[in-house]
Amino acid sequence: MIGQRVFLPGSTVGVMGGGQLGRMFAIAARRMGYRVHTFSPDEDSPTGQLADVEISAPFEDHEAVARFAKGVDVLTFEFENIPIECVAVAEKFCEVRPAGRVLHIAQNRLREKEFLENAGLPLAPFARVPDNSVLASALEKTGAPAVLKTASFGYDGKGQQKIASPADAAAIEVRELSVLEKFIGYTKEISVIVARGIDGAMETFPVCENIHRNHILDVTIVPGNVSEAVKKSARELALAVAEKLDLVGLLAVEMFLLPDDSLLINELAPRPHNSGHFSFDACVTSQFEQQLRAVCGLPLGSTELLHPVAMANLLGDVWEKGEPDWSAALRFPEVKLHLYGKSQPRKGRKMGHLVAFGTDTTEAAQRVIAAREALTK
């Protein structure tokens, strides 16, 4: 049963995790008059730089978690891989939205896929692989090619191995509980972000078309260049997942678009999502404000898209030859810059993003890529 308690401006919102998603959430919350406390193992985190209070302690320090939870009215997340024991401690002292059971499902690929399968939602064939002894039989179930993914703590392509044929399986060593998933020949990757409030009301953001490079999101184009029928199906799938989860908060549903225009769910993220960063500048209500509205029990905002838009990630690779030329990118008047306050750029690390507007998505995408290229010329 969904709790009905409402937390009005002036309340204190806690954020578990200290990354850029929490940072942008904190900006939205502070703008609306909320206090923000953050808890993460890191000091001077991107979220902590914007929060009223930053607590730096391990998630396994349950005494610190309890003190933190006692100091907030409602707790939410910018990172789903929080130990479930930590969440259980927090739930004793404050309202937690989304509930810990939602995170428990989403932080493990096997639990997530079993949940989706039991809910009758479309996803690629998969099999549970606890060790090497069942890998061959699992491959018979899914067929080849397939992808072996660790069940826990995998993102941005981490913990994944492709198996092109049964012969390749002999060289694979399964070191932890994993999921074998049939490799899907999709035409596009898309995502839909959905918010659900304490009253069950739901809103979806426009369908995002996502382009990845080295398993990391590179560019998002909105609205996605797919048919209206696909957009409708994608929104309906996202709404169905949120309903089945009894979600209170925000959820990103990543999907594969197949050649016949059908959709398969790839992954879930019960928090703001990289593909939704465009909304900070391009929607009436950003994904971060919508998360705040949902977890505080306020009415959800309009998700109307104000302009065709494209977003490009800025990874640590951009700093390879020194400080990027920010002035060069900002000579494009239709481009906006977001940096996350991370002091150490590393290859593959998300340091910021650019957003560009256009008269259509083609112009917006060309513009954001040109602005990013200008950073290193």
Q: Where are the domains of the chain?
A: 12-96, 125-182, 188-374
Is the predicted pLDDT of residue 155 greater than 80, yes or no?
no
> What average pLDDT is seen over the chain?
95
Q: In what order do the strands lie in the sheet with 95-96?
A: 53-56, 35-40, 12-16, 74-77, 95-96
CA dist., res. 42 & res. 241, Å (int): 32
Mean pLDDT of 97-117: 96
What pTM value is reported for the model? 0.95
Is the predicted pLDDT of residue 3 greater than 70, yes or no?
no
Q: Are 331 and 374 in contact (CB under 8 A)?
A: yes
Domain 125-182: which CATH number of 3.20.110.20, 3.20.20.70, 3.40.50.720, 3.30.1490.20: 3.30.1490.20
Give the Å distances, CA to CA, from 46 to 17, 275, 344. 10, 19, 12
- Percent of the chain at pLDDT exceeding 90: 90
Report the topology of domain 188-374.
Answer: D-amino Acid Aminotransferase; Chain A, domain 1 (3.30.470)
Q: Residue 246: which of 186, 178, 199, 301 has the closest Cα? A: 199
Whole-number pLDDT of residue 168: 84
* Banded model confidence at residue 2, pLDDT cuts 50, 70, 90: very low
Whole-number pLDDT of residue 67: 98
CA dist., res. 321 & res. 372, Å (int): 14
Domain 12-96: which CATH number of 3.40.50.150, 3.40.50.80, 3.40.50.20, 3.40.50.300: 3.40.50.20
CA dist., res. 228 & res. 110, Å (int): 32
Say which amino acid occupies 274. N
Q: Residue 301: which of 289, 312, 311, 309 has the closest Cα? A: 289
